[in-house]
Amino acid sequence: MDTLRRLDALARSGALITDAGSTKSAIVSLARVVIRRCQFLGGHPMAGKEKRGAGEADADLFAGRTYVLTPTREEDLRTPAAAEFLHWLGQIGATPLVMAPTSMTSSSPSLRTCRSWHPRLWRRQ
Convert 5-73 into a string of H (helix), E (strand) and C (coil): HHHHHHCCCCCEECCCCCCCHHHHHHHHHHCCCCEECEEEECCCCCCCCHHHCCCCCCCCCEEEEECCC
Per-residue pLDDT, 108: 52
Q: Is residue 120 part of a domain?
A: no
Q: Are 119 and 86 in contact (CB under 8 A)?
A: yes
Output the domain CATH number for residue 67. 3.40.50.720
Q: Is residue 125 part of a domain?
A: no
Per-residue pLDDT, 120: 43
Per-residue pLDDT, 64: 94
Is the model's pLDDT at 78 over the cut of 50? yes
Domain residues for 10? 2-45+59-113
Q: Is residue 7 part of a domain?
A: yes
Per-residue pLDDT, 105: 57
Give the count of domains, the chain.
1
pLDDT digits (tens, 9 = 90+) for 5-53: 999 999 999 999 999 888 888 999 999 999 999 999 999 999 888 888 9
Q: Is residue 108 part of a domain?
A: yes
Q: Is residue 53 part of a domain?
A: no
Q: Is residue 124 part of a domain?
A: no
To the nearest whole number, what is the mean pLDDT of the chain? 84
Residue 70: band (very low, low, confident or very high) from pLDDT cuts 50, 70, 90: very high
Q: Is residue 122 part of a domain?
A: no
